[in-house]
Structure 1
């Protein structure tokens, strides 16, 4: 088995999943052959099935939906701050 914390590139992950699909071997056997934990290979298979070509985006990168959600949250926070500033300004200028 390989050391824990090992990082694998996208190509290896895709080829490992493809090997599970086409070789006729079980996930456990493929994992042992590649020196990868069974749980890791299982996660790769489910991630590729769920996300297709968008799977395995890499460290520091987000799925498109997650990136959009992050952007919208930032924008929402900015709008809240602007609204609060305007409320305070209105309160200051409305007093005689």
Structure 2
């Protein structure tokens, strides 16, 4: 037998979604309390964020100022240059070992 689904009004959905954004509530717990699946509640949350132009937190999306973007770019370039330097140091070490072997013969 199939389970009878409860239909929620827009106001009820909105109240459940608002509760789910509170830090002391878990999505799975609220879904169990209201008899819906966690996927359904997640979809309602996503729709709410899209309707209100909100970004999900913890998604790795960070709004940076121009200075922060410049610093991040310079740090990325620094890491690349350090990697290149380390590769060149290893190459010099390899080639200098080869030169020493050929002169000892």
Q: Shorter-chain-normalised TM-score: which range?
A: 0.3 to 0.5
Structure (1 or 2) with the larger CA radius of gyration: 2
TM-score by length of 1: 0.46
TM-score by length of 2: 0.43
Higher helix proportion (structure 1 or 2): 1
Higher relative contact order structure (alpha carbons within 8 Å, sequence separation ≥ 6): 1
